[in-house]
Structures are given as C-alpha cells and as structure tokens.
Amino acid sequence: MMSMKGKRVLVTAGASGIGRAIAEAFASAGARVFVCDIDEGALRQLQTQLPDVMTSVCDVADRGSVARMVAEGAAALGGLDVLVNNAGIAGPVASVADMDPDAWENVLRVNLTGTFTVTQHAIPHLKQSTAGSIVIMSSLAGRFGYPNRSPYATTKWGLVGFTKTLSRELGEFGIRVNAILPGAVEGPRLQQVFQGRASASGRSVAQEEAAALANQSIKRFVDPADIGALAVFLGSEAGRSISGQIVPIDGDSQSAS
C-alpha cells in the first residue's frame, strides 16, 4: 500500500460497504480520515472498530447538513487533501414509463446534487493543499445503459461529466479529479440483488450469479478492498499525473444488467 502518511481525507457514506473499505484503506496507508454517513449506528460501529477515524452524521441531500459537515471535517483534520465522494443510493427499479417522478428526483438529489454540494464546499479547503485530489464514485452504470434503472444510470453518467468538468476547472490549482466505476461488488447488497432476481425469474441464486459472471472476463466479483486500494492510488503521490480519468474496476464487464 502506498503511503498517505499525514494526508487529510474526507469520505462520504464511509460507514459501511464500499465507503468503509475506502476509509479503511486510507487509514491503513497512514492518512487521517474523516467519515460522514447518514447512518448514525454504522458510524458508531466504525468508530468503535477504528477509533482514530473521525465521524459525523450527514445527509448529503441536505445543503445545510453538508455545509456543517465539511466545515467540521476540515477543522478536525486541519485542512483537506483528498475528498472521496462515495455517497449514493440505488433508487427504484422501474421502466421510464412507470417511474415515480418523486423517486427519480430523490436519486438525483442524493447522487448528483449531493456530490456537487459536498464538492463545492470542499473546494476552498482543497485549494489550500499542495496535492489536492477528488475521487468520485460512479458505476458500471456510468458506462452502459441500465434497463429499468434510469435515475441511477443517469446520475452515474452525470458524475462522469462532473468529473471531466472539475478536472478542467481545478487543474490550475493542482487539484486532480478522477472517477472510479465499480461493477458487481461482493457483499450482502449484491447477494440481495441475486436473491431478488432469482425470486423474479424462478431461477436459483447460483444461476443468477453465474449469469452475472458470464458478463465479465474475470470470473469473480469485485472485492471492496480493491476499490479502496484504487482510491488510495488515485489520491496518492503515485497518481500525481492522473486527472480527468474514468477508471472502471469491474472484471472487464461488457454491459450493465
């Protein structure tokens, strides 16, 4: 693992899942880490297990909550070197024709506008860093159409455009901006997806897993720790010449399904 000793890192939605793996990776590399999450219980558990990680409850869809959280995080860390925008929700499963407009807007509010709001508040702090970096979590759904998941896919494509634009705007300040696009990530959430598909299709969970792996060249699902390692690389000195890039980590998946 590359050294991040002394670096100051803010991770949104970092109390569980991919976000937690990212927070753990930065902490293991020597960074000082501040994690926000909407789940207060998960934050307490994280701090019990990783007492050096600082935490704050935050709903990224609430602008006031974000303003407070970023200010709190920057003060606790003594500045900010790396921002990892991980917060997002899956949203509903429905065709565009049947989509609930309120559900559509809720996904955009969290995934897209939430990322914008956190980033906007973090930029003044990142400009004070000698090696500022922003990592944005998009998705495999940010590269392909995703039937019946239009709000999720739309936001993940939008985050790619946001990444490209930010990299152009912030390059003059030495701030790098890159996006990570995970595919199917091993864990309870993926298993719930397969169980839901199995219930709908009448096939077994094992058959649904096999169908998903058939979409990939590498026949295993992504380990969250690998995403954490990639985030550390992009935020580290080793990634100092990398910006504006869209980095898939999906076993060479050929579609989003």
Share of the chain above pLDDT 90, in %: 80
Q: How confident is the model at residue 210 (pLDDT cuts 50, 70, 90)?
A: confident
pLDDT for 48: 95
Is 240 in the same domain as 137? yes
Is 122 in the same domain as 197? no
Partners of 32 in beta bridges? 8
Q: Which amino acids are annotated catalytic?
A: 152
Is 170 in the same domain as 190? no
Structural domain contains residue 254: no
- Lowest pLDDT segment from 38-52, 132-146, 156-170, 211-225: 211-225
Mean pLDDT of the region 221-239:
96
Mean pLDDT of the region 65-72:
98
- Lowest pLDDT segment from 116-130, 152-166, 175-189: 175-189
Give kind and range of the element (H or E) at residue 164.
helix 150-170
Summarised one tens digit per residue, pLDDT across range 9-37 is 999 999 999 999 999 999 999 999 999 99
pLDDT for 192: 80
Tokens of 117: 């709001």
Domain of 205, in residue numbers: 186-221
Tell me if 9 sits within 8 A of 35, measured CB to CB.
no
Tokens 């076993």 found at: 251
pLDDT for 197: 76
Structural domain contains residue 256: no
How many helices and strands, by DSSP H and E, does the chain display? 9, 7
Is 212 in the same domain as 138? no
Is 116 in the same domain as 206? no
Give the CATH number of the domain where residue 244 resides.
3.40.50.720
Mean pLDDT of the region 83-102:
95
Is 161 in the same domain as 215? no
Mean pLDDT of the region 134-146:
95
Q: CA 141, CA 78: separation in Å to the nearest integer?
A: 36
Summarised one tens digit per residue, pLDDT across range 175-201 is 999 999 999 888 887 888 778 777 778
Is 177 in the same domain as 83? yes
Q: CA 158, CA 153: separation in Å to the nearest integer?
A: 8
Mean pLDDT, rounded, of the chain:
94
Q: How confident is the model at residue 79 (pLDDT cuts 50, 70, 90)?
A: very high
pLDDT for 1: 55
Share of the chain above pLDDT 70, in %: 99
Tell me if 37 sits within 8 A of 43, measured CB to CB.
yes
- pTM of this structure: 0.94
Is 179 in the same domain as 197? no
